Structure 1
Amino acid sequence: MMSFFEISGLLGCGVLLLVIVRAISIYHAPKYFFCILWIVLAFMFSASLFVAFPPVYIWGFSICIIVVYFLISNLQNRKKVKRSIPDHTPAICNWITAHTKRKYDVRVAERIIHPTVIGNLHPIVLFPKNFDRKDKIRFLDELAQQYVYIRYFTQIFRVLIFVTLSIHWFNPLVWVMYILSNRDVTLLCDMLTTCSSKESKYCYALSLIKKSDTYNKTDLNDRK
Structure 2
Amino acid sequence: MLTGLSWLALEAKYLEPAERFYAETLEMDCERRENELRFLAGETDLICRRPTSTPRGGLHTHFALSIPAEEYDDWWDRLSEAYDLEEARFGPSKSLYLYDPDGNCVELGQRDVAGPGVDGIFEVVLEVESIDRAGSFYADLGFETVDVGDGRKRIRMDGPMALELWEPHLGIADARGGVHVDLGFETADPDAAVEAVADRARRLEAVAEGRRLRDPDGHVLTFVTS
TM-score normalised over the length of structure 1: 0.28
Highest Rg: 1 or 2?
1
Structure with the higher helix share, 1 or 2? 1
TM-score normalised over the length of structure 2: 0.28
